[in-house]
A and B are shown apart, each in its own frame.
Chain A
Amino acid sequence: MKNRRIITAMNYISDEKIAKADEMPKIKYNHSKKTIFTALGGVFAAAAIGIVILQTGIFSFKPDTFIPDNTLPTEASSGDNTHIVVKIDYDSLPFEYTGGKPEKLTNLSVYGEGQGDCTDFLSNSGNPWSENMILTEMPVFQSAERGFFRPDDYIPILEKYSAALGEKLTDVSFQYMNDPDIFGPEIAELYKDRTMLLTAKAGNVSFEVNAHSAVGKLNITISGLDSPDDELVANMMGFDSPQKLGDGTIYDKSEDIFMRIMNYNFRCAKITSPDTITACDLLTTLDCIGMYPVISVNDAKVQLAERENIADSGLIKHIEFEYLMSENCEFFTPYYEFFVLQPDETYKIFLIPAVSPEYIDDKGENT
C-alpha cells in the first residue's frame, strides 16, 4: 500500500524532469581521480563513548591560499609494512565535493583539552583510525546537521539480537546522558539530549547502546556472550568473535578505511551482516568545504610537546583521530586526540588540529 502510494505520487514529477532524466548525459572530464588506498592491517576494536571538553580556543583557516594538494606522498616513505596510507576515491565520497575552492572561514572554534575517565579508550577503541595510518588529506565540513537519538530506533535491533539468542528482551532502560551530577553542569548542558544510553538484557547477555550525536558516534556493547552458539549474534553485530571481543563499534566494515572513518564520525550506524539495518542517521547533511592537507600524528605529537611542554612522550597512552566541533563553531574539523597520563594517575585529553598549520590562522588563541 505504501509503495503503491509512492509509485502514484511519483507520477506527479514534472514531465520536464522525466524527459531530462532520459536525455543522454554530456561527457564529463574526470579530474585527477585517485585510487582507494590498500590496507596492510587495521586496528579494529571497540569501546564505549566518552567525550570531555573543558577549554576552547579559536583559529581560522587561510582559505585564499588553499589549493588541493595532489603532490602529497601516497605511499609510506619508510617502505616497511607497518604503515598504511589512506587515499581517497573522489568518485566515491559520501558527501558532495566538487574540488572547488573552499569558502572563507572565520572564527573557527576548537576544543583545547579535557579530562575524564579514559579507561575504555585505553583498552578498547572503536575508532577505525590507528597510528599506523597516514592520512594525507581529509575533508572539512560546514553546517553539518545533527541527528538526535531515539531509543525506538534501537530497541528493535536489540529485540532481533535477543531473538537470535532465543531470549526475550528485558530490563530495557533508556536515558539521555545529561545528568549534571555525573558530567558536570557545563558538559551536561552542552550535550543535552545528544548523548544516549540504552541498556537491556536477553537472558544472561547484556546490551548497552551508547551514542553521542555531537560527533556522530555509536557503540553497541554486548557482554555475556560466552557460548560458541552465540557467534551468530556476534557476527550480526560486527564482532570478530564472541569470545575475544565483548563489545564493538558498529559501522560499515565493508567500506575502505576512509569511508570507515567517515562512517564512524558522521554517518549512520549500519549493521551489514547478515542483515542490513540502518539504525539512525547521526548527521543528516555534510557540506564539504574542501579537502585539506593533514599533518602526521608525529607532527601532532611535536605540536603537543611544544604547546603543553610534555617532555616524556611515554605519557601519551592513547591517540585517536576525531572530527569535532564546538557549540559556537560552524565547522567540523579533524583532530588528533591525545590521552596523556597525569601524575595523579588520571588522564588528560589534548586536542591538536589535524589540518596542516599553514591553513590555520591564529592557532591556539584562546577565547
Chain B
Amino acid sequence: MELMNDEQIIELYFQRDEEALKQTEKKYGQLCFRISDNILLDRSESEECLNDTLLRVWNSIPPTHPNSLKAFICKIVRNLALTRFEFNNRKKRAKELQVSLDEIGDMIPDNRISADFDDEELGQAIDRFLDTIKDDARNVFIRKYWFFDTVSDIAGRYGFSENKVNNMLYRTRIKLRDYLKKEGIYI
C-alpha cells in the first residue's frame, strides 16, 4: 500500500480521523524512533517517545497546519526526547551528547549573549548562517547537532570519511562563530 502524501495526512488530522496517526507512524515512525534513540539510547523509551510524539501531533493539528509535516514531527520528537533525556540524565549518554552540544555551545557563551537576544533570534541567526554555507556542510551540521547522528553515521550516510566529517563540522563551527560574532551575538 502506498504511503499517503503529507497534505492528505494533515487533512485526516483536520477531520479528526485516527487514520492520521496510523499513516503518520507508517510514514515517519522509523525516523522519529531514530531521532529519539540517538538521544535516549534506549529502545523502550524511544518507543514511548514516539507515542508521545503522535499524541502531541494529534493535539497540535489542528489548529496548526505545518508547512512541512516531516520537520514538524521531527521537532516534536526531538524536543520530547531531549526533555526525557534531561529528566533521566543518564550518565553515559549525557557525556556523549554533552560533547556534541559543548562543541557548538562553546561558540555562544551565555554571559556574552545580549539579554535582549532571545532564543528565537539566536535560532534565526543560526538559520541565516546555514543559508550561507554549502549544502553538504549544512546537511552534515544539521545531522550532527539537530538529529544528533554520530560522526560515523553521518560519514556512512554521505559516503565521507569520518575525518572529513569532523573537518567539515569543525569548519562550520568556526564559520558559525564568526557569523554570530558579526551579528553581535558573540562579543
A residues in contact (CB < 8 Å) with B:
1-22, 24-25, 27-28, 30, 89, 91-96, 145, 281, 284-285
Return chain B residues, CB-CB under 8 Å to A27.
159
Interface hits, B99-131 → A, CB 8 Å: 101-102, 104-105, 108-110, 113, 119-120, 122-124, 126-127, 130
Question: Could you tell me if B68 and A10 are in contact, using CB atoms closer than 8 angstroms?
Answer: no
Question: Could you tell me if B146 and A91 are in contact, using CB atoms closer than 8 angstroms?
Answer: no
* Residue of chain A at shortest CB distance from B144: A21
Question: Could you tell me if A2 and B105 are in contact, using CB atoms closer than 8 angstroms?
Answer: yes
Interface pairs A-B: 8 shortest CB-CB = A12-B123, A15-B71, A9-B123, A15-B68, A21-B142, A9-B122, A3-B101, A18-B71
Interface size class of B (residues with CB under 8 A): 35 or more
Question: Could you tell me if A25 and B124 are in contact, using CB atoms closer than 8 angstroms?
Answer: no
Query: Among the listed B72, B142, B174, which residue makes an inter-chain contact with A285, where contact means beta carbons less than 8 Å apart?
Result: B174
What are 11 A-B residue pairs whose CB atoms fall within 8 Å in the complex? Answer: A7-B101, A9-B123, A16-B71, A19-B70, A21-B143, A22-B31, A30-B159, A91-B160, A91-B163, A96-B171, A284-B178
Return chain A residues, CB-CB under 8 Å to B130.
13, 17
User: How far apart sit A6 and B101, CA to CA, in the bound complex (Å)?
Assistant: 8
B residues in contact (CB < 8 Å) with A:
31, 66-68, 70-72, 74-75, 78-79, 82, 86, 98, 101-102, 104-105, 108-110, 113, 119-120, 122-124, 126-127, 130, 134-135, 138-139, 142-143, 145-147, 157-161, 163-164, 167, 170-171, 174-175, 178
Question: Could you tell me if A13 and B127 are in contact, using CB atoms closer than 8 angstroms?
Answer: yes
Question: Could you tell me if A18 and B142 are in contact, using CB atoms closer than 8 angstroms?
Answer: yes
Nearest CB of chain B from residue A270's CB, rounded to whole Å: 11
Q: A2-B108, A13-B146, A19-B70 are in contact. Are A91 and B161 (CB under 8 A)?
A: yes
Query: Among the listed A2, A19, A93, A281, which residue makes an inter-chain contact with B71, where contact means beta carbons less than 8 Å apart?
Result: A19
Q: A2-B108, A93-B167 are in contact. Are A285 and B127 (CB under 8 A)?
A: no
Query: Among the listed A3, A10, A15, A92, which residue makes an inter-chain contact with B66, where contact means beta carbons less than 8 Å apart?
Result: A15
Question: Could you tell me if B147 and A22 are in contact, using CB atoms closer than 8 angstroms?
Answer: yes
Query: Among the listed A16, A21, A94, A285, which residue makes an inter-chain contact with B146, where contact means beta carbons less than 8 Å apart?
Result: A21
Query: Among the listed B74, B86, B109, B159, which residue makes an inter-chain contact with A22, where contact means beta carbons less than 8 Å apart?
Result: B74
User: How far apart sit A95 and B170, CA to CA, in the bound complex (Å)?
Assistant: 10
* Residue of chain A at shortest CB distance from B85: A7
Q: List the count of A-B residue pairs having beta carbons below 8 Å apart.
A: 121
User: How far apart sit A28 and B74, CA to CA, in the bound complex (Å)?
Assistant: 27
Q: A2-B110, A10-B146 are in contact. Are A92 and B70 (CB under 8 A)?
A: no
Question: Could you tell me if A12 and B68 are in contact, using CB atoms closer than 8 angstroms?
Answer: no
Nearest CB of chain A from residue B2's CB, rounded to whole Å: 19
Return chain A residues, CB-CB under 8 Å to B113.
5
Return chain B residues, CB-CB under 8 Å to A3.
98, 101-102, 105
User: How far apart sit A28 and B79, CA to CA, in the bound complex (Å)?
Assistant: 33
Given contact pairs A17-B142, A22-B147, A89-B163, enumerate 10 new A-B contacts (beta carbons under 8 Å): A6-B101, A9-B126, A10-B145, A15-B66, A15-B71, A20-B138, A22-B70, A25-B158, A281-B174, A285-B175
Nearest CB of chain A from residue B92's CB, rounded to whole Å: 17
Return chain B residues, CB-CB under 8 Å to A16.
67-68, 71
Query: Among the listed B119, B127, B164, which residue makes an inter-chain contact with A91, where contact means beta carbons less than 8 Å apart?
Result: B164
User: How far apart sit A93 and B98, CA to CA, in the bound complex (Å)?
Assistant: 27
Question: Could you tell me if B160 and A6 are in contact, using CB atoms closer than 8 angstroms?
Answer: no
User: How far apart sit A1 and B110, CA to CA, in the bound complex (Å)?
Assistant: 8
* Residue of chain A at shortest CB distance from B162: A92
Nearest CB of chain B from residue A7's CB, rounded to whole Å: 6
Nearest CB of chain A from residue B154's CB, rounded to whole Å: 10
User: How far apart sit A9 and B66, CA to CA, in the bound complex (Å)?
Assistant: 19
Q: A2-B109, A12-B123 are in contact. Are A25 and B75 (CB under 8 A)?
A: no
User: How far apart sit A19 and B138, CA to CA, in the bound complex (Å)?
Assistant: 12
Question: Could you tell me if B110 and A28 are in contact, using CB atoms closer than 8 angstroms?
Answer: no
User: How far apart sit A284 and B101, CA to CA, in the bound complex (Å)?
Assistant: 21
Return chain A residues, CB-CB under 8 Å to B101.
3, 6-7
Question: Could you tell me if A5 and B142 are in contact, using CB atoms closer than 8 angstroms?
Answer: no
